[in-house]
Structure 1
């Protein structure tokens, strides 16, 4: 019994005649009759009772047809599943991000992605850049979003975003009347600093030391979100990324460009050796598209504030 014989038998049962089966399969009637006889010979029993040109299916033929129908339905389901995989890859992937991106930016990208990929599962650990780099290099994470320190790690790395640093403060602060905040303006202020961004902290500290500036006191915190929450409540001023500062504008936070101009890069990293799934590749593409849009918005916001402030 072979696939062609099964196909012919199925066509005869559906059409109800050799003539109808031959038309459906686009073959000659003798070819259909030949395959039926060969199938019966292989099975060792008759599938049809023949009365002249008429065929009547036996009980065995009905039972076989029922079984074949289930197989055909399974193949149809398999075909639809394959088409679904083509258009909407399923499976599992992971994307680890530093807190700066994990609170809002990453969910804004991942949420619609999950809606379009109903069969997909995604792990989204939030960790320090150092942890993410090590986890990605070891193949534990598919995608990492980290502060690009230039550290030589065993991953594929590409820049995703360049984010300027700005000085953020409560809306009623005297800084609100200035168009830019220089490092010397921080003298006598309570400075809210970040403990989990070594490169960021070092950059700001270097500028303070070079200018001989000492804030009145310091408030050390872990994330940019907490720094902005404190600044919005008047607990001090902080030098943070523009992405977070914009998010907190509606909560009583103001910001101004910082001098000297400082920025940092966010990198997208992936393992060098781990096999990349279609799902993770699509997520990477979505992250890049969102990053391009965000970069344009940051550039416009930073330039717009400079222009707005300088005109007042």
Structure 2
């Protein structure tokens, strides 16, 4: 029966070219490599290497076999990396991926509820942008994520939880602060703190908020994060279109927010690796999330997505 150690030795020998290098890579002796290869040949029923003058030259069969080995070994390597990640983590810890703005506004409210159920459970927070959130989920490096909605992706399950209207952030004493609602036309002659698109091929935030029939304002500064846009507004560099989660923080720091007239909204989801079953910690984190977003005192701007 073929053993994993034999396949590992074969792969190392094919990749390094010599038994000495293969042995060094696997931290075993050179004779041990030779023995593993001989045993593998016996189990397979065909020769993998021609031995001549102390060298081992791969046969045509070995080259063909290597293609199958590489295809399957990648899956084994991924399992090994996942296992290593799990070993390094605490056995009963929850790993959460979350966008920076949500990790400093919505997530603390959720964790207050979660810790009422699991007061002693460690929580690891991976605060990254939306594209990185998806990578963390696909690589099984986190148990759950809170993010902006995204198109269907293999290996990830999503649950829509929240739909939030966008706001216009203005410096204090800005002339537009007297208006109840800000429109795209109001910003034509304004400096607007803009966005660096995460997906160059997708619709940009500028296109969403300022359609083709509306003259685009000037964008003196562009950035990835909402916190940075709020900060630029607070320091008087311009106005910006922002999500509402940071409003409570930044209205205490020189920013005025007004409703912005647009059909565009921000849709948020809970996302999970597609592993079938979910742990008790993940289920209870979801429960805590729903308690927070359904509480108008904690999230006053929210209305649930249909």
Give the TM-score normalised by the residue count of structure 2.
Answer: 0.62
Check if 1:114 corresponds to 2:115.
yes
d(CA) in 2 for partners of 1:92, 1:243 = 26
Q: Name the counterpart of 1:96.
A: 97
- Select the residue among 297, 300, 305 that pairs with 1:297: 300
Q: How does 1:9-48 map to 2 (within 5 A)?
A: none
8 A Cα contact 1:161 1:266, kept in partner: yes
8 A Cα contact 1:181 1:256, kept in partner: yes
Check if 1:226 corresponds to 2:231.
no
d(CA) in 2 for partners of 1:150, 1:115 = 34
Q: Name the counterpart of 2:17.
A: none
Q: Name the counterpart of 2:150.
A: 149
8 A Cα contact 2:167 2:258, kept in partner: yes
Structure with bigger strand share is 1
Q: How does 1:232-311 map to 2 (within 5 A)?
A: 232-273=234-275, 275-293=277-295, 297-299=300-302
8 A Cα contact 1:91 1:119, kept in partner: no
Distance 1:228 1:296, change over 3 A: closer
Structure with bigger helix share is 1
8 A Cα contact 1:190 1:217, kept in partner: yes
Secondary structure at 1:181 match in 2? coil
1:169, distance to aligned residue in structure 2 (A): 0.5
Distance 1:197 1:256, change over 3 A: farther
Q: Which runs of 5+ in 1 are unaligned?
A: 1-89, 301-312
Secondary structure at 2:288 match in 1? helix
Q: How does 1:59-138 map to 2 (within 5 A)?
A: 91-111=92-112, 113-114=114-115, 116-138=117-139
Structure showing greater radius of gyration is 1
